[in-house]
Amino acid sequence: MYTFILIIFVIDCILLILSVLLQVSKGGGIFGSSGEAIFIGGGNIFMKKVTIVLASIFFILAVMLNYLSSRRYLKSVVTTVSPPPQQQR
């Protein structure tokens, strides 16, 4: 379960980075002025919504991973190690 959520988390991180980089900014975005043709017709609003959804997923998965990792190592080393054998005199 932990590994599966971690893989989804990494994929979400990559998609979130890409969605932020693809947004058109005042400076022209990552593609400059030629990339603005991609976002004609409200595409910029779509990219903002995608970024919000990916950021929400990122937050939820980060909280889940934190909870699972705290529960993962709940056992103490002291309880799992058997006591040393007694030496007979």
Domain that holds residue 9: 1-25+42-69
Long-range Cβ contact pairs of 42-48 (< 8 A, separation 24 or more): 47/19, 47/22, 47/23, 48/23
The pLDDT value recorded for residue 68 is 87
For range 54-58, the mean pLDDT: 96
For range 45-64, the mean pLDDT: 93
In a domain, 75, yes or no: no
- Percent of the chain past pLDDT 70, that is, above it, reads 65
In a domain, 88, yes or no: no
The pLDDT value recorded for residue 74 is 63
Residue 14 tokens, joined: 């990559």
In a domain, 34, yes or no: no
In a domain, 33, yes or no: no
Reported confidence tier of residue 29, pLDDT bands at 50, 70, 90: low
Does residue 69 or residue 9 have the better pLDDT? Answer: 9
- Percent of the chain past pLDDT 90, that is, above it, reads 37
For range 32-49, the mean pLDDT: 64
In a domain, 58, yes or no: yes
Sequence-ordered list of residues with C-beta below 8 angstroms from that of 15, at least 6 positions apart, any chain: 54
What is the total count of domains within the chain? 1
